[in-house]
Chain A
Amino acid sequence: MYKLQAENVSVWYGTHQALYEVSLASERNQIVALIGPSGCGKSTFLRLFNRMNDFIPGFRLTGKVLIDGEDIYAPHVDPVLLRRRVGMVFQKPTPFPFSIYENVAYGLRLQNRLSEKLIRERVEQALQQSALWDEVKDKLKKSALSLSGGQQQRLCIARALAVRPSLILMDEPTSALDPISTAKIEELLIDLKRSYTIVIVTHNMQQAARISDYTAFFKEGLLIEYGRTKDFFTNPQHPETLRYITGRFG
Chain B
Amino acid sequence: MPRSLPKRVPKRWGEATLTLFTAAISWSMLVALVGVIGFLVYRGGKVVSWDFITSPMREGMQAGGIAIPLVGSLWVATLALLIGALLGTATGAYLSEFSSKGRLHRLIELLVNTLAGIPSVVYGLFGLALFVVAMGLGASILAGALTLSLLSLPILIRNAQEAFSGVSQELKLASIGMGASPAQTFWRITFRLAFPRLITGYVLAMGRLLGETAPILFTVAAYYLPAYPRSPLEPTMMLPYHLYALITSGTNVARTYPMAFGTALVLVTLTLILTIVAAVLRFRLKKRLHV
Contacts and interface: CB of A to CB of B under 8 A. Distances in A.
A96 interface: yes
Interface in A52-107: 52, 55, 80-85, 87-88, 90, 92, 94, 96-99, 106-107
Contact of B179 (A84, A90, A97, A144): A84
B40 to A, nearest CB: 42
B118 interface: no
Contacts of B173: 52, 90, 94
B24 interface: no
Q: Chain B contact residues: over half helix, strand or loop, or mixed?
A: helix
Contacts of A156: 174
Nearest to A102: B290
A160 B171 CA distance: 14
A52 B290 CA distance: 28
A33 interface: no
B176 A52 contact: yes
A219 interface: no
A50 B184 contact: no
B179 A96 contact: no
Contacts of B181: 80
B185 to A, nearest CB: 9
Contact of B290 (A88, A99, A107, A109): A99
A98 B178 contact: no
Contacts of B175: 96, 106
Interface string B164-186: 00001011011111111100100
Contact of A94 (B174, B180, B184, B290): B174
A15 to B, nearest CB: 19
Given A52-B173, A96-B171, A97-B193, A159 B178 contact: yes
Contacts of A81: 179
A94 B175 CA distance: 9
Interface residues on A, range: 20 to 34
Nearest to A96: B171
Q: By CB atoms of chain B within 10 A, which of A90, A97, A98, A107 has the most?
A: A97
Contacts of B174: 88, 90, 94, 96, 156
Interface string B140-184: 000000000000000000000000000010110111111111001
Contacts, number: 64
Contact of A97 (B180, B184, B290): B290
Contacts of A85: 179
- Interface of A, helix, strand, loop or mixed by DSSP: helix
B37 interface: no
B25 interface: no
B290 A110 contact: no
Contacts of B170: 90, 92, 94
Nearest to B178: A107
B291 A97 contact: yes
B137 to A, nearest CB: 44
B177 A110 contact: no
B177 A52 contact: yes
B178 A163 contact: yes
A159 B171 CA distance: 13
A83 B178 contact: yes
Contacts of A110: 178-180, 184
A80 B177 CA distance: 8
B100 to A, nearest CB: 8
A143 interface: yes
A177 interface: no
A209 interface: no
A145 interface: yes
A19 B177 CA distance: 22
Contacts of B177: 50, 52, 83, 87-88, 90
Contact of A83 (B179, B188, B289): B179
B115 interface: no
A204 to B, nearest CB: 21
Q: Which of A87, A90, A110, A145 has the most CB of B within 10 A?
A: A110
15 contacts: A52-B173, A52-B176, A80-B179, A82-B179, A87-B177, A94-B170, A96-B171, A98-B290, A99-B290, A107-B180, A109-B188, A110-B180, A143-B290, A145-B290, A163-B178
Given A50-B177, A87-B177, A97-B193, 15 more contacts: A52-B177, A80-B180, A85-B179, A88-B177, A88-B178, A90-B173, A94-B173, A98-B289, A106-B178, A106-B188, A107-B178, A107-B179, A107-B180, A110-B178, A145-B290
User: Which 4 residue pairs are nearest across A and B when measured between Cβ atoms?
Assistant: A84-B179, A143-B290, A88-B177, A83-B179
